Amino acid sequence: ALFPLSLAEELGWLMIPINLIVCIAFALISEVGRVLEDPFTMFFNGLPLSAISLMIEVNARQRLGETDLPPMLTPDSRGVLM
């Protein structure tokens, strides 16, 4: 909170872009933390848990010799496997 005030006399008008860059950096760090808090979303950057669990199920059922297997999930037009 006192960062801009401590450098205001020395930097003058340059304090405005420096303060803006620092604020953007903190906002980006906050956004990255928010995204990393919940990795199991259905957005493009979420973990494809349904595809992973289905693949584990199909592989386990194949090893047991079953033939009636559910179809594997394929990526959509954007390449997202959900």
Tens digits of per-residue pLDDT, 18-57? 888 989 999 999 999 988 888 777 777 777 788 888 889 9
Taking 3-state DSSP, the helix, strand and coil percentages for the chain, each rounded to the nearest 5, stand at 60, 0, 40
Tokens of 64: 């047991």
- Tally of residues, the chain: 82
Percent of the chain with pLDDT over 70: 90
Interatomic CA distance for residues 45 and 58, integer angstroms: 24
Q: Is the pTM of this model over 0.85?
A: no
